[in-house]
Amino acid sequence: MTDSTTASRKAENRQKAPKGRRFLKGALVLAFWLLIWHGIAAGVGLQLLLPGPLPVLRRLGELFTAVRFYQTILLTMGRILLGFFAAVLAGTLLALLTTGLPFFHRLFAPLLGTIKATPVASFILLAFSSSGTVVLCSFLMVLPLAWSNVAAGIENVDPQLLEMGRLFHFSLWKQVRYLYVPAVLPYFTAAVSNGLGFAWKSGVAAEVLGSPRLSIGKELYGAKITLEFVDLFAWTIVVILMSILMEKLALAMIEGMKKRL
């Protein structure tokens, strides 16, 4: 039995496990790391340097009751998701273009490689608008990933299936729906899953340097310069939770789309 088959079966077994058992295991893992955090914070003994989990959780509770908190989250999420969805759309269109016409692959590959290798800070410093910078950075960080993944999926469609489609005179729509989409979807799913993480990291980093009004990045920067490390930890947890939530929602939408195909 191959390693990939074993990993696949383990993943299936995890999915089949009762939700209550999965929740209990997740809660135990979370409790373990909270205890580790508490122990390290107690060992340091200085909340200014490393606050413990209880003060941070209390601060999170305070944030959740403030209207400004939700305004800040929605504006940050809007900027990041705008760049992300634009990048996924542009990357998919570029993948279709470059796999169908090799000339365009030679034309765009150096540009996309350059974007991929350029540090986020360079894009932030070159941009002019603080809000636009967030959208731009999210877009540029996700674009090469979306392009390369979708292109790889298109190129890995089984030639025998394509030949079968020609023999049975599949229309273009049937070829796309029954041959290309199932082959590309795993690559597209990976691009969405990884791309959302990149979008959040680069978007919040752009907010830290650009400090647009009502943004998570501005809150993080303000907490740093005022030495409010409880706030810094609390807002960092918010970023992590939002990134995880957006990824799960996106993957659920893709899963729903797969069932309808």
Give the number of other Cβ atoms within 10 Å of residue 205's Cβ: 20
Range of weakest confidence among 62-66, 223-227, 253-257: 253-257
Give the chain's mean pLDDT.
82
The pLDDT of residue 76? 92
Amino acid at 234: A
Radius of gyration of the chain (CA): 22
pLDDT-derived band of residue 92, with 50, 70 and 90 as boundaries? very high
Kindly tell me if the per-residue pLDDT of 128 is higher than 60: no
- Kindly give, in sequence order, each residue whose CB lies less than 8 Å from that of residue 110, ignoring residues fewer than 6 positions away: none
Q: Please answer whether residues 220 and 55 qualify as being in contact, where contact means their C-beta atoms are separated by less than 8 angstroms.
A: no
Question: What percentage of the chain exceeds 90 in pLDDT?
Answer: 23
Q: Is the pTM of this model over 0.85?
A: no
pLDDT-derived band of residue 11, with 50, 70 and 90 as boundaries? very low
Kindly tell me if the per-residue pLDDT of 7 is higher than 60: no
H or E segment at 180? none
The pLDDT of residue 127? 63
How far is the C-alpha of 219 from the C-alpha of 206, rounded, in Å?
13
The residue whose two tokens read 């800070």 is 121
Taking domain 50-260, whether its CATH number is 1.10.3720.10 is answered by yes
Task: Report DSSP letters for 93-135, one per residue.
Answer: HHHHHHHH-HHHHHHHHHHHHHHHHS-HHHHHHH---HHHHHH
pLDDT-derived band of residue 237, with 50, 70 and 90 as boundaries? very high
Kindly tell me if the per-residue pLDDT of 71 is higher than 90: yes
The per-residue pLDDT for range 191-226, each reduced to its tens digit, is 998 899 889 988 898 888 877 888 898 899 898 888
Amino acid at 143: L
Average pLDDT value for residue range 36-51: 80
The pLDDT of residue 87? 94
